[in-house]
Structure 1
Amino acid sequence: MTLQQLTYLVTVADCGNITDAAEKLFISQPSLSAAIQNLEKEMGVKAFVRSNKGVVVTREGEELLSFARMLLEQADNMKEHFGSENVRPPKFSVSCQHYSFAVNAFVDLIKKYDADQYSFIIRETQTGEIIDDVASGKSEVGVIYLSKNNEEILSKLIKKSGLIFEELKVAKPHVFISNKHPLSGKELVTFDDLKPYPYLVFEQGEKNSFYYAEELVSMLDFPKNIQVRDRATLFNLVIGLNGFTVSSGVIDQKLNGKAIIARPLKMDAQMRIGIVTKKNMILSRYGETYIEALNKHLSIG
């Protein structure tokens, strides 16, 4: 097994077919196919199911790809650590729940490593996908929260996926509402106060259970519920419908505007906001910088 073979494996998976991958790698299609077959034989797995339409990654292939991405990332990190800072263009990917502070940290990262060429990815996505992204190597860092409601289930999934959770901040639950909301003048908001208004939550797809929810409060506690997929839509509905959502209270007016405000929610609960990373993985300088920026913005909120 060589790093070159692992690069070939990941490129084929990303392209979805041998022909495009060969063009991207500047090698012949037969040479690429042979390299992949040799790797499959050595590892004793069938990574792809091949057809006229391209390739489909098998379950064994997904596991092999996870290791391949991790090893390639670690090789790059080692080169950067012991070699020149300009070994490769800046490259980093993070998957996160819908937090403005996660975006702010991402902005700080790009500003620090701005260059003529770079590749940065931020995925504001569903909780289950965040864990999957980090486990598969698609993202170096994931940003989620744990609480007494979801910790047992998510901690088992994190451990099973070969990941670890590191707590960065413990936050009390808040509601995000419009600055013109009828409850905006209250210093402390109760459940009864909120029941007349639409409760806005992030939809979690196939894993749409309370354990994967980004909000501390179940939809069952409120009669009016709206599920959305992105933060901009949610905030538009918060303003347009006098809706609300439940989150950490960490919000940046520069990023989200002054129309959205946070008010404490009367609730005996905590959000343990933190990161998930691969166990025993050496972070890249970009991952370390991103986590430093996260800590900075969480300390402000």
Structure 2
Amino acid sequence: MTIQQLYYLVVVADQGLISKAAYKLNISQSGLSQAINSIEQKVGFPIFMRSNAGISVTSNGQPIIDHAREVLREYDKLTEEIDQIKEKRREVFRVAVSDEIFLPFIDALLLIQEKYPDFKVELVETTPDLAVDGVKSKKYDVAFVTYSAANHSDLQGLLVHNCLAGKPRIYTTQDHYLYQHKRPVPLDLLLEQEFVLYNDDQLLAEAEKFQKKCGKVNISLITDNLNVIYEFLAKFQAVTLLRDFQLKNSLYRDKKSKFYPLEIEGYNFAENHYAWITRPDMSLAETEEEFIQQVEKFFMRV
């Protein structure tokens, strides 16, 4: 029997009259009568007893009606689950990434799209503030952002899943005299250096905090291009401020190993966290969850 035939049986049993059942089903009485007769011929016995007073279920027909109700209930559950899956499934999974798309995103995306060719991701580079606002306003489904204790309150009301932890550090090239000294750099000597800063709201805030406590520094360039930063460091013997996990996961494979950290005497930068965030009411499809899991795995492998 089809779902439609089962539905006919249940409605006729509930209504007790072919005329009422036909009206509810929006079909003709003759069409409904023919459908019921066809079902009874298939099962080989009467499911309904007809009389002038109406129509009632026979003793043999009652188990059929009971099972029909169970099947229809399960069918309704199935259609509801299918609808929920459709609601979860998005044409494009919108992911905001604060400041820089790390290498693990590319590795995970290549892996997932090979497995699921129809899976589409929109990776958007933006600032941490805009990424958080975008998740709250439903512009983005998920965002990967950096935060510290100073701005953790900005994430209030969101689900926060930590991936990485580390600190901003001062970096330079291997041939810089400060690195070759192989000992902590005094603050007064550091203040004499030319700085090239990464264009990141929180890193710039860390640099501002450092200057307020230790003294003004000479900032010659602010850019969001790690390759440009390296060229300035190499050519002008400059220094920069980057997060350790940022450099470790950078897309620039050939450059990240050429940045060397300096130990600073008498100053420590605050710990930073890298996390993916989403709204509490946000449900991710299985493919989307798998993509995020792969990103996290690649973070661990780097």
2: distance between equivalents of 1:166 and 1:238? 34
Aligned with residue 218 of structure 2, among 217, 224, 243: 224
Equivalent in the alignment of 1:6 = none
In the alignment, structure 1 residue 97 sits paired with structure 2 residue 90: no
1: distance between equivalents of 2:164 and 2:97? 15
Percent identity between matched residues is 14
CA displacement at 1:76 relative to structure 2: 10
Give the conservation status (yes or no) of the 8 Å contact 1:189–1:263: no
Mapping of residues 79-98 of structure 1, within 5 Å = 79=85, 91-98=92-99
CA deviation string 1:282-301 (max 9, x = no partner): 23335423432343344345
Equivalent in the alignment of 2:253 = 256
Q: For structure 1, which segment, 251-260 or 132-141, has the greater mean C-alpha deviation from structure 2 after superposition?
A: 251-260
Mapping of residues 202-281 of structure 1, within 5 Å = 202-203=198-199, 212-213=202-203, 216-218=206-208, 220=211, 221-225=215-219, 226-250=221-245, 251-252=248-249, 255-258=252-255, 260-263=258-261, 265-266=263-264, 267-268=267-268, 269-281=270-282
For these two proteins, the number of residue pairs brought into alignment is: 209
C-alpha distance 217-197 of structure 1, shift in aligned 2 (>3 A): same
Tell me the TM-score normalised to structure 2 length.
0.55
Give the conservation status (yes or no) of the 8 Å contact 1:96–1:142: yes
CA displacement at 1:122 relative to structure 2: 1.9
Give the conservation status (yes or no) of the 8 Å contact 1:189–1:264: yes
Aligned residue identity for 1:217: A
Give the conservation status (yes or no) of the 8 Å contact 1:105–1:294: yes
Give the conservation status (yes or no) of the 8 Å contact 1:106–1:122: no
Query: What runs of 5+ residues in structure 2 fail to find an aligned partner?
Result: 1-80
Q: Secondary structure of the residue that 1:165 maps to in structure 2?
A: strand
Aligned Cα RMSD in Å?
A: 3.6
2: distance between equivalents of 1:238 and 1:284? 44
CA deviation string 1:162-199 (max 9, x = no partner): 42333223213323333333334465654445323332
Give the conservation status (yes or no) of the 8 Å contact 2:95–2:141: yes
CA deviation string 1:207-257 (max 9, x = no partner): x6xxx4466332634421132244443343333333333233132577331
CA deviation string 1:5-61 (max 9, x = no partner): xxxxxxxxxxxxxxxxxxxxxxxxxxxxxxxxxxxxxxxxxxxxxxxxxxxxxxxxx
Equivalent in the alignment of 1:289 = 290
Q: Secondary structure of the residue that 2:244 maps to in structure 1?
A: coil
Q: Secondary structure of the residue that 1:260 maps to in structure 2?
A: coil
C-alpha distance 229-169 of structure 1, shift in aligned 2 (>3 A): closer
Give the conservation status (yes or no) of the 8 Å contact 2:203–2:242: no
Higher helix share: 2
CA displacement at 1:135 relative to structure 2: 1.9
